[in-house]
Homo-oligomer: A and B are copies of this chain.
Amino acid sequence: MSLKNTFIAIDWGTSHLRAYLCNTYSDKRFELIAQRDGPGVIKGKKTFSQIMEQAIAPWAHEYGTPAVLMAGQITSSIGWIETPYMKCPVNPEKLLSSALKQNSKQYAITALPGAQCVLHNTMLDVMRGEELQILGFLKQNPAYSQGKVLLCLPGTHTKWVLLEDGLIVCFKTAMTGEFYDLLCHQSVLIANDCQGGEFDWQAYEQGCNLTLGSNSGNLAHGIFSVRTRQLSKELDSVQAKAYLSGVLIGSDVRAARYATEWQLVPGSKVVVIGTEQLNRCFATALSHVGVQCDTFSVHTATLSGFNYLHHQQIASQSPL
């Protein structure tokens, strides 16, 4: 295995850095050798260069200094190497065309761009990192590169993304995960000393039903029921967290259902790319409105996207 085939992929978001050491075998096949984590963009006390060095330096003895690819909020205005947003429609296979190169210590970094679109209501929307996950997903599942496909990528922010023939046409952001974290840890809704516990799917579905089923207002005026249902002893605090999750995801799915940018009617299908837990949450909520889901691992999609781009880079450098 030559040094060229080994690469480091850094998915560096607002709250976490995830560094992956990988080998590539083709534009679709790769192997994860090791993973190390670090602080996110807003949590680091050192410089970004130091944080990266600390995360990946232990690999240098055995692997030298492979090429580094970087995506996520680290490439935003609050990050390290600010890259442009590509304007929709975006072909995710072309991400390298708007990437920026920078050296840090001995490492040659490729910082990937984000994507932006203008919605029907003339509002701008933006993403950083999800366009790479979409690329990786499509490379692993090429059947979805044809026709219209609606993707849902849940996380700190949910991204609902409309693809047409493999191009990112437009997308919408919901701050569902960020709301959940804030409300779980810093509001009157959930007690500070609430312990972990098994996720209560029944409470989750009750929360979904509150916001999925109303034609208006059940997010603004219904979310306080997370507290009152504890006062009335219908829920304990662990159940209340699952219920809160349902209230928020239900409102997110309802908004997607009535978005003017796409048709999400009973019988249609959505591709959900997230963690196992979030995939099940969104698939459950979507099933309540008659929508079926195909679910995929966001971890695999991310690595697959980095692998495809690294393979592109070395292919373009190879002597004929």
Contacts and interface: CB of A to CB of B under 8 A. Distances in A.
A25 interface: no
Contact of A124 (B178, B188, B222, B232): B232
A123 B228 contact: yes
A124 B232 CA distance: 8
Contacts of A255: 216-221
A215 B125 contact: no
A14 interface: yes
B124 A220 contact: no
A217 B227 CA distance: 23
Interface in A220-239: 220-225, 227-229, 231-232
A176 interface: yes
Given A216-B258, A225-B123, A187 B178 contact: yes
A107 to B, nearest CB: 28
Interface residues of A, number: 45
Contact of A186 (B123, B182, B189, B223): B182
A256 interface: yes
A162 interface: no
A203 to B, nearest CB: 14
A242 interface: no
B229 A123 contact: yes
The 8 closest A-B pairs by CB, nearest first: A217-B255, A220-B255, A173-B224, A221-B255, A124-B228, A216-B258, A220-B251, A182-B182
Interface of A: 14, 77, 121, 123-126, 157, 160, 172-176, 178, 182-183, 186-189, 210, 215-225, 227-229, 231-232, 251-252, 254-256, 258-259
Given A175-B188, A186-B186, A220-B252, 5 more contacts: A14-B188, A124-B225, A172-B221, A220-B251, A221-B256
